């Protein structure tokens, strides 16, 4: 399996695990009375699965984005400016027209 697929799958699994921990915390603290709603409803399990999947998509995307942004290569620690050298700006003379009276 290519490295990029392993990278993406690994971080999606981490994101879905974080989503499960987040939802467990919401249910344990009974935020917005979620525990009561899920435990007393006849389709509470389906609601819980949908809630987990939708949060998992968000958490997986954030986890993958953070992992990509934290990637670096050897030698990236140079103190110089990024994006090339700055260009010296010089003003361009422009004639200002006087308003007619």
Tens of pLDDT, residues 19-73:
999 999 999 999 999 999 999 999 999 999 999 999 999 999 999 999 999 887 7
Q: Is the pLDDT of residue 81 over 90?
A: no
Cα 16–chain centre separation: 13
Round to whole Å and give the CA distance between 54 and 46. Answer: 12
| Tokens 């697929």, residue located | 5
Whether the per-residue pLDDT at 6 is higher than 70: the answer is yes
State the DSSP code for 80. Answer: S
Reply yes or no on whether the pLDDT at 99 is more than 70: yes
User: Are 53 and 12 a contacting pair, CB within 8 Å?
Assistant: no
DSSP state of 79: -
pLDDT over threshold 70, residue 80: no
DSSP label at 31? G
From residue 11, alpha-carbon distances to 54, 56, 60, 66 in Å are: 16, 11, 6, 10
Look up the pTM and report it. 0.71
What are the extents of the domains in the chain?
A: 3-69
């Amino acid at each position: 399996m290519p490295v990029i697929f392993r990278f993406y799958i690994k971080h999606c699994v981490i994101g879905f695990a974080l989503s499960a921990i987040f939802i467990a915390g919401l249910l344990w603290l009974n935020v917005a009375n979620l525990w009561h709603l899920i435990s007393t409803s006849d389709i509470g399990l389906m609601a819980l699965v949908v809630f987990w999947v939708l949060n998992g998509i968000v958490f997986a995307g954030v986890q993958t984005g953070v992992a990509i942004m934290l990637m670096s290569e050897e030698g990236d620690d140079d103190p110089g400016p990024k994006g090339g050298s700055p260009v010296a700006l010089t003003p361009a003379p422009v004639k200002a027209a006087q308003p007619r009276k």
